[in-house]
Structures are given as C-alpha cells and as structure tokens.
C-alpha cells in the first residue's frame, strides 16, 4: 500500500484511528459528553474528508474503490454515524453504558459500512460486512441491564454467524469457478455463453442467502423484528439504516459492474423480491409494537429495492440508490423519534402507548407523520419519488407484473403506516408524559424531515448526483 | 397578477395553513376566523375566472402557467403545467365557493383540535384546486394523492363512532385505484417517449391526447384509469366506502367530500380517461353505462330503506352521480353539458343536504328518522330551506336539479344509450319517493317526540351559510345559460376530438374486417 492509496483511504483511516483513540481515552475518562462529542467530530471529519479529498488512485489494494460512488456512501454513512451518536448521548447517560466503547463501536461500524459500499472485490465485501457485523454483535447487547437486549444480541450473533458461513462458502465457490476475487472479472468469469456456470450459480445462491440474512429478505428475515424490538433504539436506528443500506449499496455496485445477463439468478431474485414485499407487508399488518412494525416495514423496503435491481438497467440502479438513501433518512428519523420519547429506557413501544401522543407532542407527532408518509410513499415526500422511480424503471424494463405486485405490497403498507398515524392522533385523555427530547435529538429529527421533504419536492438534486456517481 | 392567478389561488390556502399552524392552540375562535378569511380571500382571487368572457368563445386552456419542475437524468421530466378551460372552470369555482361554507359550518361542530382541523381543511383546498387545474398527469397525480391524507384525518379524528374503520376503508379504496392509475400513467408516459414524443414534454395531457395507442393497450390503460375514477365517483359496485365515510365524517368533511371530492372522479373521466383512450371508451361504454344505471336504481332503492338521514343522503349521491356519468358517456353536447352541470348541482344540493343534516344533528345528536317528525312547526325557516333543497335534489323544474337531469336524459336518449336513458328515468321517480318520504317523516305530521319540543330554529350564521346555496339553486334552475355558455366551447371541442378518433378507429376496423377480394385477371 503506497501513499497514494493511503490518501484515498483517509476518510476510513480517520474513522478507525478516531475510534481506536476514543476507545483508549474512554478506558480512563468516563465522561459521556466529551467522548460522544469526540465521536461526532471524528465522524464529521471523515465525512468532510470524503467530500473534499480527491483520491489520487481509483482503487485501494485491489479491494476497495475510491471513486465517486464509494466517496458518496462513505460520506453518507459517516454522517449517519454522527446522527446516531447525537441520538445516543442521553441513552448512554441513562443506562450507564461505557461511552468510550459505545462511541468507538459505532465508528467502527461506520468504517465497515464505508468499506462494504466501496468494495470492488469479493474479499472487500467480506471484510466490510464482517467489520460492521462484529460491531453490531456487541452494540445490540451492550445494555447489560436489559434481558431483551441480550436475547436480541444472541439472536443476531447466531444468525450472523450462519450468514457469514454462507458468505464465505459462496465466495469460495465463486473464486473456484472464476479464478478471481476482483470485480467485475469474478462475475464475468462465471459465465459461459450468457449463462451462469453451475458452480457459479451455487456460489451466487450462497452469497444471496448471506445477503438475504443481512438485509432481511423473506425467508431470511425472521431475526429482524426480535432484534429491532430488543436492541437499544439508537443502535436499531443504525442497524436499520446503515447495515442494510451498506449491503444494498454493495449489491447495487455488484449489479452495476457485473455483466448484463444474470441467467437463472433473475428468476431467483424475482421470487425473493415478491415474497419479501408481500410477506413483509402482510406481517407488518399484524404488528402491535412500533419497532416490530418498522422492522417489517424495512423488510418490505428491501423487497422493493430488489425490484429496482431486477430492472437490470441504469435507471433501475439509479432508482435503487435513491431508494436506499431516502429509506435510510426516513428510517433513521423514525427510530430517532422513538429514542427522543424514551425516558430511562421506558419508551412507547406498543401501539396503545402511542394513542394521543400526537396531541401531547404536536411537533414530533407531525414529524413522525411526515416520516411514515415517506416510508409509505405518499407525495410530496421523497418516499413517493423513490417508489415512483423504482416502478417507473420496472415498467420500462417490461417487468409489469413485478411492478403490480409491488404496488399491491405498497397498498398493504399504506394500511399499517396509516394505523400508526391515526393512533398517534386518536384522542386520549390519559396520555402518558414522555421525555421532551434534547436539542440534539430535535436537530437530528429536523435534518431527517428536511431531507425527506427536500428530496420529495426537488428530487432532481439527488437523482442528478446519483446519475453522475453510479459506476 | 393575472399571469399567476391560478398559482396564487391554489397556494394561498397553503400559506394560510402555515399561518394557522403558528396560531396559539387555545385561540379556537381566532383559528376559525383566520381560516374563514383565508377561504373567502381564495374565493375572491378565483372570482375573475367567473367573469372572464374568453371561455365563451375559446376552448383552449386559459391562464396557463408553465415551469420545469422535476427532472431526472435524461429520461424523466415533469412540469408544473396548469390552466383552466370550460371543463374545469366551474369546478374550480365550486371548490372556492364551497370551502368558506364548509368552514363556517364548523363553528360549533368542531370543538376539539380545531387547529389541526383547519390546517387540514386548507391543505385539502390546495390539493383539490391543484388537481382541477393540473395539465400534467403527474402533477395531477401528486395533488390527487395529497387530497387523500387530509380527508383521511378528517374522518379518522373528528368522525363518529366507527371512524377508524370508515377512514381506513376510504383510504384503501381510493389508494387501490390511484396506484393502478399511477402504473397506467407511467405506462402512457413510457409509450409516448417510445413513439418519439420528446421527454421534455413531461406528462403533458395535451400531448398525450395526440397519441395513437394501439387498441389492446388502450383497453388496459383505460380500465386502470376508469377503475380509479370509478372508485372516487363512486360507481356501483365500488361505492361501498362512500356511505361509511359520509356517515362517520364530520359535517364539514361530508360537505367537502360530497361537493368536491366526488367530482374528482367524474372530472377525471372527462379530462383524462375518455379523451386519452377514446376507442377503449367506446368499447366499454355499454358496460359502464350499465353500471351507471344499476347505480342510479340501486342507490335510490337503498336510500329509500335508510333509517339514518345522513346515510340516505349518502346513497342518494350514488344515484345522482350515476346520472352524471350516464350523461358523460352519452358523449353528445346535451349529455355532457348536463353531466357537467349536474356535477355543480350535486355539489350545491348534496352539500346543502349534508349541512342540513348537520344542523339537526348538532341540536339533537341523532340522525335517525324515527326520532323526528313534525319539527316543521318548531323550525319554520329550517323547514322552508330544507324543502327547497329537497326539491332541488329531486329535480323539480325551476331548480337546478331539473336542468341537469333533464339534459342528461335527453342526451342519453339521443345517443346509443337510449334504453339506458329509459330505465334511468325511473331513478328520477325513486328520488322523489325517498326524498319526499324522508321529508315527510322528519318535518311534517304531529310532533310526537318530546325531545323535539325545545328545538330552536336556524340562527343567523346558519342562514348565512344556506343563502348562497339557495341563490344558486334558483340561478341555475332559471338561467343556466350563465354556466353553459362558458363550458360549451370546451365540451364541443372535447366531443369532436373524441368522436373523430373513434371514427378513425372504426374505419380502420371496417377495412380490416372487409373480405379481401382476389381479382384474378386471366
């Protein structure tokens, strides 16, 4: 690795070195606010570095890209990490969680996401994925006072280990078949005359199972609601956005660089997409706990994202990136809202707890409404434009049936998002007092809502950017 | 100023909404007054449209505005493209006219969360006006969806006992249709780009009118649009959300829903579904006209059996809108102009009926017919107004309902839908039965229920609400030309455009079906 590559790697280096430093400092100095503030500064510095430093080389160590696509997502995950840390301050305080460990783990996770999104080789994908998954194993179970948290951590650990196994084996098979780890050569090497070699197909299948676990595609989604319910809310806000978004970004990168024909994979993905959208939406309909509901909502969203990938067109991939970004903003905002209402671990979970909260806290009620409408895909929010772009691409790619099934799923989704919104504004005299939220938490919410509305009204801003950065 | 008249009119309520959001929550009266003033100013902004004589001679879009809005790469473009012609003119004015009335009706009816209600009402007004003036299909869709959310809340928060069920049902029914329409809109756009219309035109309806969409595709697209609009109208058999929504909605919500929101469906047919897909329209006209006639008769019969006044009015809407659609499908000037006029009439009469139901509900907190009887003696002014509105709803000559229904039936009779018109005429008789019978049971006879002894007659505010509506009942009934002369040029243009395309399609079909003669020259 030479100096050029190190310059290109600056954002990631800032994140890792910052995380290590904070971990060390945290061992001696336990004050929460300086540590977390330090973490936020590190994350913002990394974001700034990703934005400003022109990488002198296109690829780092043959494993990670440093092109505009990689920089965009590095920036995005670093900013998300900063927002998540801003959300976590009060939680860390109230639950007496070691701030140094927490902050550095969030930063390490962001590092992993940045690496994963910019991976240009199968090894890079594996490294990036494991880097943030390992952080999450600890983060999910970091609250030792809470049994649910431990249960969620164990569940995520077991599922994650299985997924890792599948991934390693799948990558092994792909390597055996194509003789290269590097993308896109590894993908081109899998093909003979437009069709996948059998071992290649098996390898892809294994890889897809692992990815399916990570972004919770049906039938690999079963861990999601339990983990979301049990884990600390600020952690979930990162788990729901960063970990899924980074895998999705890597997947989009794979599709963008890979060969045009996917042979038998297409039908497999088709089935996964339909199952994920419909089963996710139907299960969400049954939920009475807000975090479980949002968990299933994220399942549906990942299914819709697959529709964009299946288009196998540039429009589809552009729409996919837009979708990921918008989903992340809205989802982060929703969990941030739950976190801002929590007081010493007592947060409104069951839908019954939400009755009338919209009147008690009108601003945050309005914020949640906008965010949920974006997740549901109603104009004038960004969620509508995202969904529209995906279905637009699907129709252009002659995937009418897929678009119609997706629309059916959106329709079912409307029902459960609306249920929450209406509960929020159902008159209730006995509405419980909740925490009024810190200024920092309100800032996070304001950023998310602004993003959702801005990209809803002038989506061209983001679309043009994505059009330029997509490899 | 007249350059941006439409935008000013559409977005003024939105500005008002933001102002309302910043008012203190407890200042109930202040919030209502501000909202009322905003809606009245909006009405005055829209008033120059009513006095503009250009509509008498020109079928073209007036007051057009154009701005590029959302563009994605080099394949997607939507524009802020608005304008009014004779078709949308009166619907726009109906909207700005009904809104102050609806707001005034909430003075006592809405006593909790006033701020939220008023903010939603203003948002709804922006959305409705936007939908009527949109000339870009995508823009129309955005406004169309935007209408859903405020109405959903109005029913879901300020509604009656079953409000959750009713609001979710309302939302899901409408959403099913609109999502299908979205797919169809994307498809039309995709088709237009494929045949070489530059993508910069966006979803401009004027350009889509000129497309030659092949028959089979046209049928599917038409069905998607027609289904979506049929839910909104609502036509039999997708009307079932309407009685629930109306029964549960607060009075102002019912008035807006009946007077304006339902017109979105009929307007959608006239503006989009029929001219975009004229051949498919022709194919499906007998089928849809059958549904209209079923709706007319069925709505009337079910209305007759209702015990709740509000439900009765709701079902009468199904029947009335069946007439409107029948007139539209007749596709001649009488039928279409009758249909358009009947949209306004229905807005006025049914809006007034819901207000009347609201008046007695506020006094007695019940709407069951058996609870009343003989209250005309206690409320003479109310009885008079109620009678006039009842007669207008039935379509007595001299009132607005007569002109509309008569023209619709004449139009349908002169078109291919002759037998449909004959059957539909029975609906007029049924209407007289259920309305008069209801009036009789509620208003006349002996005052039996002691709870009705203390009923007070209408107060000044309530009379002020009703007066403008009464004015138009008679104005349209006696001199409907004011309205016809401004919509006819646009309607004639529409009919020519649709008929021409249908004829071309028929000629092509005839040529294709004609036996091919092989002449062999020895």
Using 50, 70 and 90 to split pLDDT, how confident is the model at A112? very high
The contacts found for A2-8 with CB under 8 angstroms, 24 or more apart, are A4/A56, A4/A57, A5/A57, A5/A60, A5/A61, A7/A53, A7/A55, A7/A56, A8/A53, A8/A55, A8/A56, A8/A57, A8/A60, A8/A66
Share of chain B above pLDDT 70, in %: 97
Q: Which pLDDT belongs to residue A165? A: 93
Q: Does residue B213 belong to any structural domain of this protein? A: no
- Does B156 touch chain A if contact means CB atoms closer than 8 Å? yes
Q: Tell me how many domains chain B contains.
A: 1
Q: Which pLDDT belongs to residue B371? A: 85
Q: Which pLDDT belongs to residue B515? A: 62
The CA distance from B442 to B337, in Å, is: 34
- Does B152 touch chain A if contact means CB atoms closer than 8 Å? yes
Q: Within the 19-78 window of chain B, which residues sit less than 8 Å (CB to CB) from chain A?
A: 25, 70-73, 75-76
Range A404-409 average pLDDT: 90
Using 50, 70 and 90 to split pLDDT, how confident is the model at A301? very high
Q: What residues of A are in contact with residue B157 (Cβ under 8 Å)? A: 422, 425-427
Single out the residue of B464, B452, B232, B435 nearest to residue B355, CA to CA. B464
Q: Which pLDDT belongs to residue B518? A: 60
Range B362-366 average pLDDT: 85
Taking only the tens place, the pLDDT of each residue in B174-228 is 888 888 888 888 888 888 888 877 777 788 888 888 888 888 888 999 999 999 9
Closest chain A residue to B147, measured at CA: A379
Q: Which residues of A touch B (CB under 8 A)?
A: 315, 318, 359, 362, 373, 378-380, 384-385, 388-389, 391-392, 395-396, 400, 403-404, 407, 410-411, 414-415, 418-419, 422, 425-427, 458-460, 463-464, 467
Range A350-358 average pLDDT: 86
Residue A139 CB-density burial (10 A; 0-12 exposed, 13-18 middle, 19+ buried): buried
Range B320-324 average pLDDT: 91
Q: Does residue B109 belong to any structural domain of this protein? A: no
The least confident of A189-198, A342-351, B510-519 is B510-519
User: Is the model's pLDDT at B522 over the cut of 60?
Assistant: no
User: Is the model's pLDDT at B376 over the cut of 90?
Assistant: no
How close, in Å, is residue B461 to chain A by CA atoms? 29
Q: Does residue B210 belong to any structural domain of this protein? A: no
Number of A–B residue contacts, CB under 8 Å: 86
Task: Break chain A into its structural domains and give their ranges.
Answer: 261-471
Q: Does residue B20 belong to any structural domain of this protein? A: no
The least confident of A197-206, A240-249, B249-258 is A197-206
The CA distance from A399 to A395, in Å, is: 5
Taking only the tens place, the pLDDT of each residue in A419-454 is 888 888 887 777 888 888 888 899 999 999 999 999
Taking only the tens place, the pLDDT of each residue in B472-484 is 999 998 998 888 8
How close, in Å, is residue A92 to chain B by CA atoms? 35
Range A66-90 average pLDDT: 92
**ipTM rounded to 2 decimals:** 0.82
Q: Which pLDDT belongs to residue B395? A: 87
Taking only the tens place, the pLDDT of each residue in B42-76 is 999 998 888 888 888 888 888 888 888 877 767 77
Taking only the tens place, the pLDDT of each residue in A197-213 is 788 888 888 988 999 99
CB contact under 8 A, A407 and B183: yes
Higher pLDDT, B254 or B76: B254
Range A137-160 average pLDDT: 89
CB contact under 8 A, B73 and A463: yes
Mean pLDDT for chain B? 87
Taking only the tens place, the pLDDT of each residue in A359-393 is 888 889 889 999 999 999 888 899 999 998 999 89
CB contact under 8 A, B179 and A410: yes
The number of beta carbons lying within 10 Å of the beta carbon of residue B446 is 8
Higher pLDDT, B50 or A14: A14
Q: Which pLDDT belongs to residue A35? A: 92
The contacts found for A265-269 with CB under 8 angstroms, 24 or more apart, are A265/A196, A265/A201, A265/A204, A265/A208, A266/A310, A266/A312, A268/A205, A268/A208, A269/A208, A269/A306, A269/A309, A269/A310
Taking only the tens place, the pLDDT of each residue in A29-70 is 888 889 999 999 999 999 999 999 888 888 888 888 888 999
CB contact under 8 A, A425 and B145: no
Q: Which pLDDT belongs to residue A450? A: 94
Beta bridge partner(s), residue A119:
A64
User: Is the model's pLDDT at B314 over the cut of 80?
Assistant: yes
Taking only the tens place, the pLDDT of each residue in B332-348 is 888 999 999 999 999 99
Q: Does residue B433 belong to any structural domain of this protein? A: yes
Q: Which pLDDT belongs to residue A194? A: 62
Q: Does residue B470 belong to any structural domain of this protein? A: yes
The CA distance from B37 to B95, in Å, is: 15
Q: Which pLDDT belongs to residue A370? A: 92
The number of beta carbons lying within 10 Å of the beta carbon of residue B370 is 11
Q: Which pLDDT belongs to residue B517? A: 60
Q: Which pLDDT belongs to residue B520? A: 60
User: Is the model's pLDDT at A418 over the cut of 90?
Assistant: no
């Amino acid at each position: 690795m030479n100096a050029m590559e190190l310059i290109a790697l600056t954002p990631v280096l800032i994140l890792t070195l910052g995380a290590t430093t904070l971990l060390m400092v945290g061992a001696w100095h336990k004050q929460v606010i300086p540590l977390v503030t330090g973490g936020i500064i590190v994350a913002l510095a990394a974001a700034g570095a990703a934005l400003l430093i022109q990488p002198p080389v296109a690829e780092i160590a043959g494993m990670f890209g440093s092109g505009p696509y990689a920089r965009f997502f590095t920036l995005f995950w670093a900013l998300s990490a900063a927002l998540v840390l801003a959300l976590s301050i009060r939680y860390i305080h109230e639950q007496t969680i070691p701030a140094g460990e927490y902050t550095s783990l969030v930063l390490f996770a962001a590092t992993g996401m940045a690496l994963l999104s910019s991976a240009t080789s199968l090894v890079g994908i594996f490294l990036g994925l494991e880097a943030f998954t390992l952080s999450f194993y600890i983060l999910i179970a970091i609250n030792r006072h809470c049994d649910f948290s431990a249960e969620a951590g164990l569940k995520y650990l077991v599922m994650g280990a299985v997924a890792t196994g599948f991934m390693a084996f799948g990558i092994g098979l792909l390597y055996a078949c194509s003789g290269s780890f590097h993308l896109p050569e590894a993908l081109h090497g899998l093909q003979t005359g437009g069709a996948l070699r059998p071992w290649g197909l098996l390898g892809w299948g294994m890889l897809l199972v692992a990815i399916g676990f990570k972004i919770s595609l049906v039938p690999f989604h079963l861990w999601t609601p339990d983990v979301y319910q049990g884990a600390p809310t600020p952690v979930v806000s990162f788990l729901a956005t960063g970990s899924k978004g980074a895998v999705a970004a890597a997947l989009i990168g794979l599709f963008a660089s890979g060969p045009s024909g996917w042979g038998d994979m297409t039908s497999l993905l088709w089935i996964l997409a339909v199952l994920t959208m419909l089963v996710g939406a139907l299960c969400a309909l049954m939920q009475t706990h807000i975090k479980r509901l949002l968990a299933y909502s994220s399942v549906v969203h990942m299914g819709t994202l697959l529709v964009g990938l299946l288009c196998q067109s540039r429009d589809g991939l552009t729409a996919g990136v837009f979708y990921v970004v918008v989903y992340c903003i809205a989802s982060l905002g929703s969990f941030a809202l739950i976190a801002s209402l929590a007081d010493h671990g007592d947060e409104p979970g069951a839908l019954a707890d939400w009755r009338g909260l919209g009147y008690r806290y009108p601003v945050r009620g309005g914020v949640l409404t906008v965010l949920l409408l974006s997740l549901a895909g109603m104009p004038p929010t960004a969620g509508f434009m995202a969904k529209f772009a995906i279905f637009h691409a699907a129709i252009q790619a002659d995937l009418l049936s897929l678009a119609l099934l997706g629309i059916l799923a959106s329709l079912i989704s409307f029902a459960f998002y609306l249920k929450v919104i209406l509960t929020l504004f159902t008159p209730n005299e006995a509405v419980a007092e909740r925490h009024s939220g810190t200024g920092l938490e309100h800032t996070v919410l304001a950023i998310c809502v602004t993003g959702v509305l801005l990209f809803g009204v002038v989506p061209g801003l983001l679309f043009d950017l994505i059009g330029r950065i997509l490899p | 100023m007249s350059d941006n008249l439409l935008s000013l009119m559409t977005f003024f309520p939105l500005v008002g909404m933001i102002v309302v959001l910043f008012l203190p929550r407890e200042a109930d009266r202040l919030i209502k007054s501000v909202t009322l003033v905003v809606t009245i100013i909006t009405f005055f902004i829209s008033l120059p449209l009513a006095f503009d004589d250009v509509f008498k001679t020109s079928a073209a879009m007036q007051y057009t505005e154009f701005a590029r809005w959302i563009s994605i790469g080099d394949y997607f473009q939507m524009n802020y493209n608005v304008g009014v012609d004779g078709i949308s003119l009166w619907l726009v004015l109906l909207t700005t006219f009904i809104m102050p009335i609806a707001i005034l009706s909430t003075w006592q009816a809405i006593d909790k969360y006033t701020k939220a209600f008023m903010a939603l009402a203003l948002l709804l007004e922006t959305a409705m006006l936007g939908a009527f003036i949109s000339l870009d299909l995508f823009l129309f869709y955005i406004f169309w969806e935007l209408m859903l959310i405020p109405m959903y809340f109005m029913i879901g928060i300020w509604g009656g006992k079953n409000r959750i069920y009713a609001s979710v049902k309302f939302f899901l029914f409408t959403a099913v249709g609109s999502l299908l329409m979205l797919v169809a809109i994307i498809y039309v756009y995709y088709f237009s780009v494929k045949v070489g219309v530059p993508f910069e035109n966006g979803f401009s309806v004027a350009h889509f009118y000129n497309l030659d969409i092949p028959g089979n595709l046209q049928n599917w697209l038409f069905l998607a649009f027609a289904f979506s609009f049929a839910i909104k109208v609502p036509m039999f058999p997708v009307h079932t959300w309407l009685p629930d929504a109306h029964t549960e909605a607060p009075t102002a919500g019912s008035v807006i829903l009946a007077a304006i929101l339902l017109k979105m469906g009929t307007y959608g047919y006239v503006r989009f579904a029929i001219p975009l897909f004229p051949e498919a329209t022709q194919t499906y006209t007998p089928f849809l006209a059958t549904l209209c006639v079923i709706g007319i008769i069925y709505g009337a019969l079910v209305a007759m059996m209702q015990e709740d006044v509000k439900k009765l009015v709701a079902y009468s809407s199904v029947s009335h809108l069946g007439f409107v659609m029948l007139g539209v499908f007749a596709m001649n000037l009488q039928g279409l102009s009758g249909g358009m006029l009947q949209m306004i009439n229905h807005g006025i009469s049914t809006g007034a009926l819901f207000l009347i139901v609201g008046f007695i509900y506020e006094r007695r907190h019940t709407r069951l017919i058996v609870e009343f009887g003989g209250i005309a003696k206690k409320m003479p002014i109310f009885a008079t107004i109620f009678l006039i509105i009842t007669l207008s709803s039935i379509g007595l000559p001299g009132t607005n309902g007569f002109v509309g229904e008569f023209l619709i039936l004449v139009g349908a009779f002169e078109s291919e839908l002759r037998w449909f018109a004959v059957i539909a005429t029975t609906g007029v008789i049924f209407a007289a039965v259920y309305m008069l019978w209801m009036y009789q049971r509620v208003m006349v006879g002996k005052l039996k229920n002691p709870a009705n002894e203390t009923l007070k007659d209408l107060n000044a505010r309530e009379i002020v609400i009703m007066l403008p509506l009464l004015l138009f009942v008679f104005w349209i009934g006696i001199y409907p030309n004011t309205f016809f002369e401004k919509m006819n040029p646009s309607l004639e243009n529409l009919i020519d455009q649709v008929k021409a395309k249908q004829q071309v399609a028929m000629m092509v079909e005839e040529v294709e079906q004609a036996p091919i003669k092989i002449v062999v020259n020895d």
